[in-house]
Chain A
Amino acid sequence: MSSRDLQKETNKFELKSGNDSRNSMNNNDSLEPSSPSQRITESEIDLNNVLDSMVDIEGQSGATVIFVGTVRNFGMHGKVKEMYYESYSKMAEKKIKNIEKLAIEKYGIKKIKIVHRIGELALGNNSVIIALSTPHSKDAFKACKYILAKIKQEVPIWKKEILSKGDEKWVEGKSIKTN
């Protein structure tokens, strides 16, 4: 079995794990401003759905900020033609959920949605979105930066650059931060 085949098999396993994780979520989800959702996905991230989820008909929010991370054509190891993302989905879902809770408390977020895509992504594809709304814009921008930093520090996701010259190399990241 090739390395890539092995990774595809891995994703099947991870998606199963992710489902288990979602099934085991407790009622604390109902305390969050946004409804519980899949935070790690192999599917394309639909920005229109994300925008729709930020609509606040009660008018509690005065600002919505959306960060979209995309696959670029250069990386740590040279010219990139696509990117492969892998995750420990069960743990990643829990970590992102915890980051949401911390950010909600810290910045008074009224609505929030975080999704990270895994699998093989083409150049320009959306790899991660962070969408949130707050009463004031200053808090929304701060919260978005805070969340992105926490994702990079704490969420078990890895990326591999598929290079134009033909080889594939994992991006050397940072040791996962313990709390």
Chain B
Amino acid sequence: MTSQTMPKIRVTVLYFAYIHETTRKKEEIMELSTNTSIKDLISIILTRYPNIKNIKNIKICVNCHIVNSNSASILKNEDEVALLPPISGG
């Protein structure tokens, strides 16, 4: 199977607060191969937006649940992944 015919999944990635000032976008849809892990996706994001590395203590959420950024868990089609910098509400 060539890379062009490999099955793909679509994942929504959300960027909040000072992260979206780095990415210059609030959200995007990423088309990924079906075996993409959370760790893989974070690697892709950091390659695309290297300045995110300068922001400390970012938490990763998948479908509103906080996960380990090094997780080998495989993402599913239509998952929503959010990058959350330290919070300051209240």
* Residue ranges of A at the interface with B (Cβ–Cβ < 8 Å): 3, 6, 9-10, 13, 69, 85-88, 90-92, 94, 116, 128, 148, 151-160, 170-176, 178
- Chain A CB within 8 A of B66 CB: yes
The distance in angstroms between the C-alpha atoms of A173 and B16, with both chains bound, is 13
Bits for B35-78, please: 1 = Cβ < 8 Å to A, else 0.
Answer: 00000000000000000000001010100101000000000000
Distance (whole angstroms) from the CB of A146 to the closest CB of chain B: 12
Chain A residues near B26: list those with CB within 8 A: 6, 9-10, 13
Q: Is the CB of A157 within 8 A of B88?
A: yes
Q: Is the CB of A158 within 8 A of B85?
A: yes
The distance in angstroms between the C-alpha atoms of A86 and B89, with both chains bound, is 9
Q: Is the CB of B89 within 8 A of A128?
A: yes
Q: Is the CB of A90 within 8 A of B64?
A: yes
Chain A residues near B87: list those with CB within 8 A: 152-158, 173-176
Chain B residues near A159: list those with CB within 8 A: 88-89
Chain A residues near B89: list those with CB within 8 A: 85, 87, 92, 116, 128, 151-152, 155-159, 173
Chain A residues near B88: list those with CB within 8 A: 152, 157-159, 170-174
Q: Is the CB of B24 within 8 A of A155?
A: no
User: Which residues of chain B from 5 to 55 have any CB-CB distance to chain A below 8 Å in the complex?
Assistant: 14, 16-18, 20-21, 24-27
Given contacts A173-B86, A174-B86, contact A6 B18 (CB under 8 A): no
Chain A residues near B90: list those with CB within 8 A: 69, 116, 128, 148, 151-152, 155, 157
Q: Is the CB of B16 within 8 A of A158?
A: yes
The 9 sampled A-B contact pairs (Cβ below 8 Å) are A6-B20, A9-B26, A13-B27, A91-B82, A151-B90, A153-B87, A158-B18, A158-B87, A170-B17
